Amino acid sequence: MRPQKAGAPARSAARKQAGVKAPAARVAGRRKQAFTVSHLDEEDFALGLRRYAKYRDLGMAQATGGMVQAHVIRFVPPCEPQEVSKLHYHEVDFQMVYVLKGWIKTELEGEGAHTMRAGSAWLQPPRIRHRVLDYSDDCEVLEIVLPADFKTVELE
């Protein structure tokens, strides 16, 4: 039996009474993460999956060993609904979007159409079918996705 430090029983009792859990041990198998920083550089925006969007990778995929992807998406004006409004979904475990500038109107299966403005955030459930309907000329969003390497399935 290990000797207890002075005050240990009192702390344990206080934690139980307050409903606070003891610090968890490091989860086995968790990917190692590295410090990374990404400063804004206009040259970092590059065309990606779609012609109407430029992506700025924030370096999180490399820093997390592929656990997380984070990028800023800058939509290219003008919005051409016939090009952007294609129904699709992403094979992900988690996808969160936060509007940094402008606005974007998107339609999600079972949720209808929503116009998200600067400061709006939404959780896009895994594999939910969705489409972009419209966006402002200055629209920029931050998107965080798990895992970093994911597949987009086009339905139209």
Task: Note the pLDDT tens digit of each residue in 94-142.
Answer: 999 999 999 999 999 999 999 999 999 999 999 999 999 999 999 999 9
Mean of per-residue pLDDT scores for the chain = 86
Q: What is the pLDDT of residue 137?
A: 98
Say whether domain 26-154 belongs to CATH 2.60.120.10. Answer: yes
Task: Note the pLDDT tens digit of each residue in 51-71.
Answer: 899 999 999 999 999 999 999
State the chain's maximal CA–CA distance in angstroms.
71
Domain definitions of the chain by residue range: 26-154
